[in-house]
Amino acid sequence: MVRKYQLYLIEDEFAAHYFGRERLFYQLFQEHQKADGDLKFITKKQISYITKRVEALKIHQLIQKQLGRIKGFKAVHGAYSIELSGKLSTAKLEVFQELITVEAGGSYEAETAFFEVLRKCETSFLALDLEHQRYGWLKPIKERKFI
């Protein structure tokens, strides 16, 4: 079974405000995927409002620095792939301006390697697996303490 993730950087204020209600983000992205016409246009505007652009250069540098020496890591045409444990765990990552995509198969080892690097880079990455209705923060947001 192939797992496909879309990773979006959520603006900090929205990430904090909707902490614990991540399902609302998931529903918006799911609705956008199914929508057409006016609704597609509206959901696209909502998504651009709550998301930040991905700092592609920073991500590329970090991935190469952190994973470049791992056996089974490859960089081809700006996309990265990892094959671990003799292809028992595979993942491919691509960086775009609006999002990062990860496709993974087998055990979770390879995708976890990518996720660990991204977690260190930004605090508000939301990962969505629309096909299997799974979603969550790469780095759990601690609830802010108001004293």
Identify the three-state secondary structure at position 38: helix
- Whole-angstrom CA distances from 88 to 67, 72, 82 are 18, 11, 11
pTM value > 0.95: no
Q: What is the pLDDT of residues 73-125, one digit of tens each?
A: 999 988 999 999 888 999 999 999 999 999 999 999 999 999 999 998 888 99
Structure token pair of residue 133: 């209705």
What percentage of the chain's residues is helix, strand, coil (to nearest 5)?
40, 30, 30
Q: What is the pLDDT of residues 32-49, one digit of tens each?
A: 999 999 999 999 999 999
Question: Is there a contact between 91 and 74 (Cβ–Cβ < 8 Å)?
Answer: no
